Amino acid sequence: MKQFESDDNSASIISVTDKVRPLALGMPVIAVHFLGDRAAFIGAEENVALVDGAGEISTVVVHGGGILCVATDGARIVMGGDDGKLVALDKKGETALLATDPKRRWIDNVALHPDGAVAWSAGKTAFVRSGKAEEKSFEVPSTVGGLAFAPKGVRLAVAHYNGVTLWFPNMAANAEVLEWAGSHLGVVFSPDNKFLVTAMHEPALHGWRLADHRHMRMTGYPGRVRSMSWSAGGKALATSGADSVIMWPFASKDGPMGKEPAMFAPLQARVSMVACHPKQDILAVGYSDGTILMVRMTDGAEILVRKNGGAAVSALAWNPKGTLLAFAAEDGDGGLLEL
């Protein structure tokens, strides 16, 4: 176990803490994404803080209440709120209202497709709107826990209690159901479209190989997995939920079946956020005690980005080029690191 308790301790590790541009965001942050050359910090309520390279903060009001879900396709960020609204924010910092739930139900989940389609959910109903086609909806047996578009084709994974439904909004074909007992709260496709992984309410992941629906149980976490990130090329899936980063291997055709995960960067704190570098085998890791590390996947070498002592890290993202790392904690303390 390693700890970064004091200055003398951090002498033993390479530190780039002095290169971080600190940001006082003034609000709890739930996510960060890059929009063009600005970092967009999504607040827990109402606002997004857009921060440029010079650290200038401009605030945009996006919701009239709590912000419950966020997705981005690089061109825009789409958010759902407890005001029943689905709102898009573009690179210019302009907002567009995409949908309003007629009953003002919470918009719990949102997903974006590279071709411009957007999916969202309220209660048990998932909705899809693509550029050309009209809006379609699909109901699952219990409240939607997570949404994800497949990387190829228009196929939407809808996670719910006791499994995931794969829905093809543009086809007459029946939806396909992947069953597994329990509540599935997050869902991701592997970038090669071969695997589907869910984060469950219990501290575990579950996966399916899509070709034959073979199950993959990924258990052993002390806490619920809230953050998942695919490494460059989709070779591995990095996850939060333990006191080190848990990385499941997905490079072979069997995925992680019968394999042990790699474990990196153990601290005496829970990993709260993971973000893999878009091009290199590096990932950024945020912890419940506020620490942020950069870790090289090949040998586990660590670089200190932020010392511990603050609130849990709640947002972490690289820009698409991989030259900027943005982060924020639950208490609104954030930063930008240029590499």
- Binding residues for another protein restricted to 169-188, rule: CB under 8 A: 181-183
Could you give the 3-state DSSP secondary structure of residue 234? helix
Query: What are φ and ψ of residue 269, in 5° steps?
Result: -155, 160
Length of the chain: 339
Site string for another protein, 112-141 (x = CB under 8 A): -----------xx-----------------
Query: Which H or E run includes 10?
Result: helix 7-10
Q: Using the rule CB under 8 A, is 79 a contact of another protein? A: no
Edge to edge, the sheet with strand 29-35 lists 29-35, 38-43, 45-51, 57-72, 76-81, 85-90, 95-100
Toward another protein, which CB reaches closer, 102 or 131?
A: 102
Nearest approach, Cβ of 24 to another protein (angstroms)?
Answer: 9
Pick the stretch among 21-29, 88-96, 186-194, 252-260 that binds another protein (CB under 8 A): 21-29
Position 164 contacts another protein (CB under 8 A): no
Among 105, 213, 259, 321, binds another protein (CB under 8 A): 105
Nearest-angstrom CA–CA distance, 149 and 147: 7
Return the number of the residue (67 or 126) whose C-beta is nearest another protein: 67
Minimal distance in Å, beta carbon 46 to another protein? Answer: 10
**197-256 positions binding another protein, by CB under 8 A:** 200-202, 204, 223-224
Instruction: Quote the least distance from Cβ 7 to another protein, whole Å.
Output: 26
> Who contacts 155 (Cβ-Cβ below 8 Å, separation ≥6)?
149, 166, 167, 168
What are the CA-CA distances from residue 29 to residues 68, 262, 330 (Å)?
Answer: 11, 29, 6
Which span sits near another protein by CB under 8 A: 65-73, 170-178, 186-194, 297-305?
Answer: 65-73
HEC profile for 104-116?
CCCCCEEEECCCC
Half-sphere exposure (Cβ direction) of 245: Cα atoms closer than 13 Å: 32
Minimum Å distance from CB 289 to another protein? 15
How far is it, in rounded angstroms, from Cα 3 to Cα 292? 12
Out of 103, 134, 174, 212, name the contact with another protein by CB under 8 A: 103
Query: Which residues contribute to the site for another protein (CB under 8 A)?
Result: 26-28, 30, 44-45, 65-68, 82, 103, 105-106, 108, 123-124, 142-143, 145, 161, 181-183, 200-202, 204, 223-224, 311, 330-332
